[in-house]
Homo-oligomer: A and B are copies of this chain.
Amino acid sequence: MRYEIRLAGGGGQGVILAGLILAEAGVFEKHHVVHTQNYGPEARGGTSISEVIFSDAEIDYPKTLCLDILVALGQKACDKNLPDVKPEGLVIVDSDLVKKVLWRKVVRVPISRRAQKKFNDPKVANMLALGTLVPFCPWVSARCLSKAIKMRTPAGITQLNLAAFQEGLKLARRLKKSLKFEEIEGVTEV
C-alpha cells in the first residue's frame, strides 16, 4: 500500500514547507514516508514541487509513480503535473489561480483568496492548502498535521498557521459534501 501526494505551486507559495509538514505528519501517523523536492531550472523559473509518499512498508522507489492527490496552486503548476495523476486520482486547485483543469475529480478551493481575505496574509495559503487535503486523504489526520505545523513553524506565527490550516479544512469539508464525482461525466472545465 502506497499513497502519493504532490504539492505544486509558484516560487514563494510555500509548497516546500507544506510538503515537509505533510511528511512529518505522516511520521506521526507511523507511516513510512519519503519526502522529495526536486529543484530544476523550471522550479527556479516557475513552479516548485514537493512530493510525499506514504507507505505501510519500506519505500524502495522514492519517486512518485502515479499521484493519488495533486494540489496545484497555479495554472502552470497544474498543467505541468496533471499527467502524473493516476486515472482515479484527485486534483485540488486554487480556484482563482487555476481556471482550467481537464480532469474528472477536481476540488476547487478559494485558497489564496481566503488567505488574503480572512488572514490578510497570502503567505498562509500553504497552510490552507494542507487543510484541504485532510477530508480527501485517508493517510493523514488533522491532529497529526496540526502537531507537525506546531513543530515546524516559528512560535510567533504558529497560531496564525493553525487557524489557516483549520480554515482550509473547513472549506474542503464543506466542498466534499457537495461533490458527487460519480455523477460527473467526462472532464470538468471552468
Contact = CB atoms under 8 A, between A and B. Distances in A.
Interface of A: 16, 20, 23-24, 26-27, 30, 32-41, 43-44, 58-59, 62-63, 154-156
Contacts of A34: 36-39
19 contacts: A16-B20, A20-B37, A23-B37, A26-B39, A27-B44, A32-B41, A33-B37, A33-B38, A34-B36, A34-B38, A35-B36, A36-B36, A36-B37, A38-B59, A40-B58, A62-B63, A154-B154, A154-B156, A156-B156
Contact of A39 (B23, B44, B155): B23
Identical copies of this chain, number? 2
Contacts of A24: 39
Most chain B beta-carbon neighbours within 10 Å: one of A20, A26, A36, A41: A36
B30 A44 contact: yes
Nearest to A33: B39
